[in-house]
C-alpha cells in the first residue's frame, strides 16, 4: 500500500473537506463515521483517552473505510510526534502554536531530512511502500491557533515552509480573550479573531479550518472561505442523539 493523502490534495486544490473528531477512543466509532462519509477523522490524543496502540488501531479503522487518519498530539516534543506518525497518522494537529519559532520547530519534528530532523525509526509506517521517500510530501502538519499571540503572528506561522493548514481552536482562543464559555461563538471580537486567522492563512496561500457544532455553522464558515471543517465529534453526536430521542419518548 502506497502512502497517499487525498485530504492534502483536496485542500491544496482549494476544495472544502469535511471531517470529524474522535474523543471516545472507540475504533468502532471511527469505522462508523468513516463509513458514513467523513473524509478525514482526527484521533484526539490530547483530550481523548487514546493510548498509542489504540490510536494505531483507530488509524487502521479509518483507512479501511477510505478516510484519512489524523491525530491531535498532546505535546510539541519531537519524540512524541514521531511516535504518532510512526503509528500511521497521515497528519498531525499540534495544539497551542503561538509563534513562528514553534512552527519552525514542528517542521523539524515532522519532516525527514533535508527538510527536517525526524528520526527514521521502524514502526507501522513502514508498511507503506516507499514511506521515507514520500512522507514529507504526503504528511499534513496542522498547527492549532488557540491564543491571541497566535492570532497576531498568524502570517508568520503559516509562512513557514512545511506548515500546511492553519486550524483554529475557538474555545481556548475565547478563554485567552477573557470570555466565558457561553460567550464564545457570540462575541464579535471573538469572531473577528477567527476571521483574522482565516485572512492570515489566505494571505500566504494556505488553507484554514475550524471545528463547528452543526451544519449551519459549517455552511457559514465555508461561505467565508474555511476549507477544513471539523463537524462535531463522536461524543457530541452520541450525546445529542440520545438527548433528542429521550426527549421525544412519551412517558
pLDDT of residue 1: 80
Quick check: is 242 in a domain? Answer: yes
* Region of residue 96 (phi > 0: left; psi between -120 and 50: alpha; otherwise: beta): left
pLDDT of residue 30: 98
pLDDT tens column, 143-177: 999 999 999 999 999 999 999 999 999 999 999 99
Average pLDDT over residues 77-96: 98
Please tell me which residue in 47, 96, 171, 190 is annotated as part of the active site: 47
d(CA 229, CA 40): 10
Predicted TM-score of the model (pTM): 0.97
**How deeply is 122 buried, as exposed, middle or buried, from its count of CB atoms within 10 A (0-12, 13-18, 19+)?**
exposed
Write out the residue range of the structural domain in which residue 126 sits.
6-248
Quick check: is 1 in a domain? Answer: no
pLDDT tens column, 27-45: 999 999 999 999 999 999 9
CB 229 within 8 A of CB 218: yes
**Residue 171 annotated to the active site:** no
Pairing relationship of beta strands 208-212 and 91-94 according to DSSP bridges? unpaired
CB 177 within 8 A of CB 125: no
pLDDT-derived band at 251, boundaries 50, 70, 90: confident
The pLDDT mean for the chain works out to: 97
pLDDT of residue 119: 95
> Which set of grid coordinates corresponds to residue 70?
489524523
d(CA 152, CA 150): 5
pLDDT of residue 121: 85
Quote the Cα angle for 239-243-249, to 5°: 145
- What CATH number is attached to the domain comprising 135? 3.20.20.60
Please determine, for residue 205, whether its predicted confidence score (pLDDT) is greater than 90: yes
pLDDT of residue 212: 98
d(CA 197, CA 35): 32
pLDDT-derived band at 222, boundaries 50, 70, 90: very high
pLDDT-derived band at 250, boundaries 50, 70, 90: very high
Quote the Cα angle for 101-176-229, to 5°: 75
d(CA 30, CA 38): 10
Quick check: is 194 in a domain? Answer: yes
Average pLDDT over residues 217-237: 98
- Total domains in the chain come to 1
What percent of the chain stands above pLDDT 90?
96
pLDDT-derived band at 106, boundaries 50, 70, 90: very high
Please determine, for residue 122, whether its predicted confidence score (pLDDT) is greater than 90: no
Quick check: is 113 in a domain? Answer: yes
Give the Å distances, CA to CA, from 106 to 6, 160, 229: 22, 10, 23
Please determine, for residue 227, whether its predicted confidence score (pLDDT) is greater than 90: yes
> Which set of grid coordinates corresponds to residue 78?
519531537
Amino acid at each position: 500500500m502506497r502512502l497517499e493523502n487525498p485530504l492534502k490534495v483536496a485542500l491544496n486544490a482549494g476544495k472544502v473537506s469535511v471531517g470529524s473528531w474522535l474523543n471516545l477512543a472507540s475504533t468502532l466509532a471511527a469505522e462508523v463515521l468513516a463509513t458514513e462519509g467523513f473524509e478525514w477523522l482526527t484521533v484526539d490524543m490530547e483530550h481523548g483517552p487514546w493510548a498509542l496502540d489504540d490510536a494505531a488501531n483507530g488509524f487502521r479503522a479509518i483507512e479501511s473505510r477510505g478516510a484519512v487518519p489524523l491525530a491531535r498530539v498532546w505535546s510539541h516534543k519531537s519524540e512524541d510526534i514521531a511516535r504518532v506518525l510512526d503509528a500511521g497518522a497521515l497528519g498531525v494537529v499540534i495544539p497551542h502554536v503561538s509563534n513562528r519559532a514553534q512552527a519552525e520547530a514542528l517542521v523539524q519534528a515532522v519532516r525527514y531530512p533535508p527538510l527536517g530532523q525526524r528520526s527514521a525509526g521502524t514502526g507501522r509506517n513502514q508498511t507503506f511502500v516507499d514511506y521515507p521517500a514520500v512522507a514529507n510530501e504526503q504528511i499534513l502538519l496542522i498547527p492549532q491557533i488557540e491564543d491571541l499571540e497566535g492570532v497576531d503572528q498568524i502570517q508568520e506561522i503559516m509562512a513557514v515552509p512545511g506548515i500546511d493548514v492553519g486550524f483554529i481552536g475557538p474555545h481556548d482562543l475565547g478563554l485567552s480573550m477573557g470570555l466565558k464559555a457561553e460567550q464564545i461563538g457570540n462575541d464579535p471580537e471573538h469572531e473577528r479573531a477567527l476571521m483574522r486567522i482565516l485572512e492570515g492563512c489566505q494571505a500566504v496561500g494556505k488553507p484554514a479550518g475550524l471545528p463547528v457544532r452543526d451544519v449551519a455553522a459549517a455552511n457559514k464558515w465555508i461561505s467565508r472561505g474555511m476549507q477544513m471543517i471539523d463537524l462535531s465529534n463522536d461524543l457530541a453526536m452520541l450525546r445529542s442523539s440520545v438527548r433528542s430521542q429521550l426527549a421525544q419518548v412519551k412517558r
